[in-house]
Amino acid sequence: QKEVEQNSGPLSVPEGAIASLNCTYSDRGSQSFFWYRQYSGKSPELIMSIYSNGDKEDGRFTAQLNKASQYVSLLIRDSQPSDSATYLCAGGDSNYQLIWGAGTKLIIKP
């Protein structure tokens, strides 16, 4: 069974520090990976996508993919209270269907 696993948290990080969110996946056929952010009571929104091994940076966010280890991570630099949310990791194949993790709740402490 295809699975994406995340630690549910909560992960508590001081303001200004680096938040590190991790995700592992079981399906070696997954070709693309996504990080969605979901604020409490809101719907998910895409913040990062990554398709190849290595790092991808976008502002304060860096996504990392290691296909050999089946591992995806999201780093948030200079964490702000507004980054407090649940972060959903998802893996995609070519069949329109994403495999979702249950999400990690991140709390940034001022």
CB of 61 to another protein, least distance (A): 16
- Binding marks (x or -) toward another protein, 7..46, rule CB under 8 A? -x-----------------------x-x-x-----xxxxx
- Which residues are within 8 A (CB) of 6 and not within 5 positions of it... i.e. 6 or more apart? 21, 22, 23, 87, 88, 89, 101, 102, 103, 104
H/E element holding 92? strand 85-92
Distance between alpha carbon 103 and the CA centroid of its chain, in Å?
8
Question: 83: helix, coil or strand?
Answer: helix
Quote the least distance from Cβ 16 to another protein, whole Å: 30
Pattern 88-107, another protein, x by CB under 8 A: x-x-x-x-xxx-xxxx----
Shorter beta-carbon distance to another protein: residue 49 or 70: 49
- Give kind and range of the element (H or E) at residue 19: strand 19-25
Residues within the interface to another protein (CB under 8 A): 8, 32, 34, 36, 42-46, 49, 88, 90, 92, 94, 96-98, 100-103
